[in-house]
Amino acid sequence: MVVVCSSDVRREPLDPAGPLAPSLAAGLDPARDRVCSCAKQGDPPPFVDLVFTAKPDQGSVTVQAKDEDTSSLAAGEGAPAGPFVACVGTIEARFPPKAVPACGEGAAATIIYPVRLELGP
């Protein structure tokens, strides 16, 4: 994951038991529900890229489908990604705000975690 602070940007491994994981986890169920709903509407592409962006001190996480990599799929490799990415769109979830020590005492952190979700068989 990428941790963005006012004076620093760094990569850190995601620790599922660490203090940052719950902020990202709040977006998992809403994202899964939206992706599954869109997949049921038609032929999904082989994969979709999701970007989780959490702001623990504000109690918010946004999950956004991206199509930079999927828009270049060659014909015959599955459905075009554009309509699927548009269907998934942006998902917002809330959770109780929480101060995290990632940027130092009292400093706000933004956590960014990209995920490639394989949709094919």
Total domains, the chain: 1
Q: What is the pLDDT of residues 90-103, one digit of tens each?
A: 999 999 999 888 88
Domain of 9 in residue numbering reads as 2-118
- Which residues does 20 contact at the CB level (< 8 Å), separation at least 6? 1, 3, 12, 14, 54, 56, 100, 102, 109, 111
Q: What is the pLDDT of residues 12-37, one digit of tens each?
A: 999 999 888 999 999 999 999 999 99
Beta bridge partners of 111: 3, 54
Q: For residue 119, what pLDDT is reported?
A: 87
Is 0.75 surpassed by the pTM of this model?
A: yes
Q: For residue 74, what pLDDT is reported?
A: 39
